[in-house]
Structure 1
Amino acid sequence: MAYRETEKMRNRKSEARKRIFQCAFQCVMKGGFRNAQITHVAQAAGVATGTIYRYFDSKEELFAEIFRSATQREVDKVAEALATEGNAVTRLEAALRQFAERALRGPTMAWSLIAEPVDPKVEAERILYRQAYARHFEQAIRDGIEEGSIPPQEARQSSTCLVGAIAESLVGPLSPAQAESDQTNSPEHQQPLVDSIVCFCIQGLTGTRR
C-alpha cells in the first residue's frame, strides 16, 4: 500500500520549512550572507544541519529564496512610491528617496542585496531584480515623456542608468566598514546623502536640478 502523507504531516513540514527560512533570513539581516552559516541556521531553528537539506536542495537555493523575498519587498515599496499622485518626476523622486532611505535604515541587509559577493545562483537573482526595478522606472519615465515633465530619451536605457546610479552610490555608505561608523548612521549624515543621490538622478533625467 502506497504511503499517503497526512494533513498533519504536511503542516508539520510546512512549519519546519518556514522556521528554517525565517531563522536564515534573520541571520542574513544580522550579518549578511557570508555569516549565515548553515550550522548557525540549524541551531537557531532547532534542527539538525542535515534536516535543512530536506527542505532546500542546497545552501545556495536557501539563500536565493531569501534574496527573492527580501528584494521583492523593496521592489514593491518602489512600486508603491511610483503609484502615488503627482507627475512622473515627483513620483520618481519619491521612489528613489524611498529606495535610498530604506537601504540606509537597514544597511546590513541592503549591502547583502546590493553589493555583497554572493554565489552565482544569488547573483542571478540580483540581476533579475535589478531588471524589475528598471521596468518600474522605465514606465514612469515613459509617463514623464508623454506628459512633458521629462525630455524625450530612450526610457529603457535611462531606467537602467537610474538603477545603476542609485545602487552604486550606496555601495560605499552601506559597506560594513562605513556602516559601523556613527557618522554614517546618523540622520544628519544620511539626509544630505539621500538628497544628493536623488538630485543627481533627477538632474540626469530632466537636465534640471530639483
Structure 2
Amino acid sequence: MAYRQTPSIEARLQDNRSRILEAARTLVGEGGWGEAQVASVAAAAGIATGTVYRYFPSKAELFAQVLSKVSQREVDVLTAMAQADGTATARLHAAVAAFVKRAMRNPRLAYALIAEPCDKEIDEARLTYRAAISEVIRSIVVAGQAAGEMLHDVQPDIAASVIVGGFMEGLIGPLSPLSRQQHEDTETYQREVAALADQIARMACASVAVAPATIQPISRRQA
C-alpha cells in the first residue's frame, strides 16, 4: 500500500516551503543574490540548513524559485492593467509607470530581479519573466494598432521587446546599489519616483505612437 501524507503533514511541508521562499526573498531584498546564502535563509526561516535542501536541491534553484514567485506577481499586475478600460496608449502608460513605481518600492530586490549578475538558473528564470512581461506589452500594442493609435508597420513582438528593454534599462541606474540616491519614504522621494515613472512611460508610448500621445487617466485601482 502506497504511503499517503496526512493533511497535517502536507500543511507543514507547504508551510516550510513558504517560509523558506519568504526568508530568501527578504534576504535578496536586503543584499542581492550574492549576500543571500542558504545558511542565512535557513536561520531566517527558523529551520535547519539541511531542511532547505529537502525542498530545493541547490541555492540556484531556490533563488530561481524566488525570482519566479516575485515576478509572477508583477506579471499579474501588468496583465490587469492591460485588460483595463481606456485607450491602448493610456493602458501602456499605466502599465509601464506602475512597473517603475513598484520597482522603486524595493530597489534592491528589483535590481536583483532585473540586472544583478547571477547564476545560470536564475538568469533563465529572469528571461522567462521578461518574456512574460513582453507578451503583456505585446497585447497592448496589438490593441493599439487595431485602434489606429500605434504604428501599424512594426511587428508587435519587436515593439514589445524594445519597450520592455527600454524601461528595464532605464531603471538600472536608479535601482543600482551604487546609486547615491537615498531610498526613503518621503514626499520628495515619492515625487521623484512619480516623475521618473511618468517620463519612462511617456517614452515607451512615444516609441509606438502614430502621433504625439495625450495621456488620459484611466479608472483603475492603485498599483
Q: Distance in 1 between the 2:158 and 2:10 partners?
A: 47
Q: What's the TM-score once normalised by structure 2's chain length?
A: 0.87
Instruction: In structure 2, list runs of 5 or more residues that go unmatched.
Output: 215-223
Residues 82 and 139, structure 2, Cα contact 8 Å, conserved in 1: no
- CA apart distance, 1:181: 2.6
1:7 to 1:86, Cα distance in 2 relative to 1, 3 A: closer
Which range moved further: 116-125 or 28-37?
A: 28-37
Kindly tell me the number of residue pairs found equivalent between the two proteins.
Answer: 210
Partner letter of residue 36 of structure 2? A
Aligned to 1:125: 125
Cross-structure match for 1:166: 167
Q: What amino acid sits opposite 1:85 in the alignment? A: D
Work out which structure has the larger RCO, using CA pairs closer than 8 Å and 6 or more positions apart in sequence: 2
- The CA deviation at 1:187 is 2.2
1:1-210 matches, within 5 Å, as 5-152=5-152, 153-178=154-179, 180-181=181-182, 186-206=189-209, 207-210=211-214
Distance 2:95 2:60 in 1: 30
- Distance in 1, matches of 2:11 and 2:183, equals 45
1:108-127 deviation digits (Å, cap 9, x = unpaired)? 11111111111100100111
Report the alpha carbon displacement of residue 44 of structure 1 after superposing the two structures with TM: 1.2
Question: Aligned with 1:176: secondary structure?
Answer: coil
Distance in 1 between residues matched to 2:147 and 2:4, nearest whole Å: 60
Output the amino acid matched with 2:212: T
Aligned partner of residue 57 in structure 2, secondary structure: coil
**Percent identity for Structure 1 against Structure 2:** 36
Give 1 or 2: higher helix fraction.
1
Q: 2 CA distance for matches of 1:119 and 1:6?
A: 36
**What are the superposed Cα offsets for residues 8-44 of structure 1, whole Å, 9 maximum, x if unpaired?**
3333222222222221122122222222111111111
Counterpart CA distance in 1 for 2:134 and 2:79 is: 11
Q: Distance in 2 between matches of 1:143 and 1:163?
A: 17
Which stretches in structure 1 are left out of the alignment for 5+ residues? none
Query: What secondary structure does 2:77 align onto?
Result: helix
CA distance in 1, matches of 2:38, 2:109: 18
Q: Distance in 1 between matches of 2:20 and 2:141?
A: 40
